[in-house]
Amino acid sequence: MIELQDAAWLAHRYDEASDNYQFVHLPRGARGEATFLSDEYLPPDLHTEIVSRSELGVLEPNRTPIHFIFHSGFCCSTLLTRALELPGKATSLSEPTLLRDMVGFFDRGAHRDRYPAVFARTLQLLARPFEPGEAVIAKPSCVVNRQAKTILATSPSSQAIFLYAPIRVFLNSIARKGITGRLWGRELFRGLHGSNRPDLGFSEEELFGQTDLQIAGLAWLVQNRIYQLLLAEFGEERIRSLDSESFLARPAETLEGIGSLFDLGIGSVQAQEIAHSDVFHRHSKFGEKFDADERKRERAAGDSAHADEIEKVALWVETVARGLGIAMQPAGRLLD
């Protein structure tokens, strides 16, 4: 039996047919090297253990909370997650697969009676820090945004940030990644548009006729709508919004603000130190040197090749948003 109090045993997968969890042994250093906590980014030779949910027994209550970075995609969420990996203050989780498994579990509809208990146990398993007193900060993948309400309702001590890229920045990122980005936008829409889908005012036939960037823009709107509903239900005391451009322009203020919301004790001096550290001068996904100037060059290249399409789709998204009552600039901002 694994030692559950050892956070190096990461709860990685859940199978509802067997009611088993899969744990992988991933110490802090190895976890920090993985861009995302999914199989394609993890070492192939990890020690794994399968444990039935019934064998887990009663875990000691977590003394520190788990907080969340919900995000739109293409918004520097991986950078923010890395910046909040602060030994002694916080342990961060970048897109743990286990939360995606909860979405699949919900959508398949089997064993629905046990879903609330499994979901609560899942959050408890993820909320295990490496050091006593650390908070855990999880950045789920975008499709998990559908379960954000369940997360916050299940874990009353959790706070959250909704980090998003402004629509033109979001569309630029997708367009310049070519077919890979466009496919990602469609897959995101399909994931967000699954069971309990929101009514966007389009028939299936109309959706089928929309371009890749239009579908990506609708996925972006769905995520803004999710945040809008979360803010109305849970209030600014528990969830705030942050756009990627403000984060990049004011990293120290952002870190200090999140530190206050998540009660991490990040003062202005430490926030400045983090903002000037190597974390902000390397690509958060690939590791090479990368800074604000390089981001500007990438974006300019995208605008040069796709400006007309991006602008037309952005204006269309704004029109759809007005009709649905969805804010393009979400309220409850972390930074004034």
244-to-62, 206, 248, 290 alpha-carbon distances in Å: 31, 31, 6, 16
Angle ∠(268,34,31) on CA atoms, nearest 5 = 70
pLDDT in tens, the chain (336 residues): 688 889 999 999 999 999 999 999 999 999 999 999 999 999 989 999 999 999 987 766 667 799 999 999 999 999 999 999 999 999 999 999 999 999 999 999 888 899 999 999 999 999 999 999 999 999 999 999 999 999 999 999 999 999 999 999 999 999 999 999 999 999 999 999 865 677 899 999 999 999 999 999 999 999 999 999 999 999 999 999 999 999 999 999 999 999 999 999 999 999 999 999 999 987 766 666 667 777 778 877 777 789 999 999 999 999 999 999 999 999 999 998
Residue 88 dihedral angles phi and psi, to the nearest 5°: 95, -25
Contact yes or no for 165/79 (Cβ under 8 A): no
Which CATH number is 9-324 given? 3.40.50
Q: CA 290, CA 287: separation in Å to the nearest integer?
A: 8
Q: What is the chain's Cα-based Rg?
A: 20
d(CA 319, CA 206) in angstroms, rounded, equals 16
In this structure, what token pair is assigned to residue 173? 């990122």
Judge contact between 81 and 137, C-beta under 8 A: yes
The closest of 112, 124, 194 to 154, measured between CA atoms, is: 124
Q: pTM to 2 decimals?
A: 0.95
As a dihedral over the C-alpha atoms of residue 65, residue 71, residue 73, residue 76, rounded to 10 degrees, the angle is -70
136 within 8 A of 215, measured Cβ to Cβ: no
Alpha helices, DSSP H, located in 138-250:
148-154, 167-176, 178-192, 204-208, 212-234, 244-249
